[in-house]
Amino acid sequence: MENTTADNTANSSITDVAALANVSTATVSRVLTGRRTKDDDIARRVRKAANQLNYSVNYAASALRSDVTNTLGIVMPDPLTPLSSHLLSRFEAAANDAGKQLLVALGADESTQRSRIDTLVSRKADGIVALPCTGADLSPTLEDYVRSVPIVQVSGHCSSFHVNWVGIDETASMQMAMDHLADYNSTAIAFLSAAVDSSAAAELFITFQSSANLLNLLTEPEWTTFGDCSAKRGYDDTMRLFTSRGTHPNGLICATDAIALGALMALHTLGIGVPDDVLVIGSGDSPESAISSPTLTSTRAPVELIVSETMRLLGNEHGSQHWLPAHIAFPPRLVQRESTTATRIGSSDMAAPGTPTESRPREPRTPRAQR
């Protein structure tokens, strides 16, 4: 006998789902479109019935009947960077949990990102997340739409007094790295910075200088370098730092893991031990940091907190804005691995490699005497 199950389920209607789940068609619509967020026996029966009947919501038709499209838009530059890939993965999961589809729009420059935002608004996304590319200020474009659609900017520079912003506390990130190196006996610190073409990079540089003085750590002007965030740059700058005449640092903070991995290769080439002679810290907690030799201590972005807060802000009543928008910066965590696993002075114990280390307040040290 011919199997007609596939044909029957392909033509299933919302009425069939309601009958199988023993609920009304209105309840089926609310559950499957995400307007009913309660996860109870009713919701589970509806989803099970929809799966059995191979029934899915026609979002395009729903959009014609409602202001709600059950879509969220996210604008971002390169999705392959550690931060972008982590955020994209978490936002996809969060959107799915909220019963929405995530529309991803890529833009490598400010002009393209502005155009992508215009497109998402025209497609009536229920909310928009904007991750600016390096050096971009999307505030003028975001302000054009902030009263008509919930918008949250994640990281980057924001000059608007009307747009919600969620990101990483860069000051806390640098202070955490400096404290960690000081705790593990570093006395002279170098910083391989990104190019100072963004507010975040400038903030890191300022915090590095002030923290070095407060912690009584030596740093020299030529020990701070600026450039691209590649492993080659990290290798080249580290070779110059440690082959130059004079005093050399015994602690190295890198703006990205890629820079730090290049630094590890240079130190290995020069026969300089890590962590015995130099401690190295990266940023981003990339997959490579856990498999390098030695494995790399790195700061991990608070992705789950950023996504959770962003989704909460997007969930506010459509079109309603507080008189003062949110501006929330979450501190990262430090994941200690072999590149800083050295015995502390006066201590017989060490933190286990790979263990996230939370930042903590500490008393400022007496500033070192001026040379």
Note the pLDDT of residue 10.
54
Note the pLDDT of residue 103.
95
DSSP 357: E
Question: Does the pLDDT of residue 128 top 70, yes or no?
Answer: yes
Note whether 296 and 231 are same-domain residues.
yes
Contacts of 124 (CB under 8 A, 6+ apart): 63, 67, 69, 71
- How far is Cα 291 from Cα 349, in angstroms, rounded to an integer? 24
Q: pLDDT by residue (tens digit) across 296-318?
A: 999 999 999 999 999 999 986 44
End residue of a domain, out of 31, 57, 83: 57
Lowest mean pLDDT among 133-142, 238-247, 266-275, 342-351: 342-351
Contacts of 11 (CB under 8 A, 6+ apart): none
In a domain, 214, yes or no: yes
In a domain, 363, yes or no: no
Note whether 131 and 278 are same-domain residues.
no
Residue 138: strand, helix, or coil:
coil
Check which CATH number belongs to the domain holding 51 and give it.
Answer: 1.10.260
Tokens of 267: 């130190």
Q: What percent of the chain has pLDDT over 90?
A: 57
In a domain, 369, yes or no: no
Q: pLDDT confidence of 370, banded at 50, 70, 90?
A: very low
Note the pLDDT of residue 62.
54
Note the pLDDT of residue 319.
44
E strand map for 68-110: 71-76, 101-106
Note whether 212 and 102 are same-domain residues.
no
Note whether 185 and 245 are same-domain residues.
yes
User: Mean pLDDT across the chain, nearest whole number?
Assistant: 84
How many independent structural domains does the chain possess? Answer: 3
Mean pLDDT, residues 238-242: 97
Compute φ and ψ for 276, nearest 5 degrees.
-60, -40
Note the pLDDT of residue 37.
65
Tokens of 3: 């199997």
**Full residue range of the structural domain in which residue 42 is found:** 5-57
Question: Does the pLDDT of residue 360 top 80, yes or no?
Answer: no
In a domain, 262, yes or no: yes
Note whether 22 and 79 are same-domain residues.
no
In a domain, 368, yes or no: no
Note whether 175 and 296 are same-domain residues.
yes
What's the residue count for the chain? Answer: 371
In a domain, 315, yes or no: yes
Note whether 282 and 309 are same-domain residues.
no
CA distances from 3 to 51, 52, 128, 195 (A): 19, 16, 45, 64
Q: pLDDT confidence of 345, banded at 50, 70, 90?
A: low
Cα 181 vs. chain centroid, distance in angstroms?
24
Mean pLDDT, residues 183-189: 94
Q: Report which residue type is found at 150.
A: P
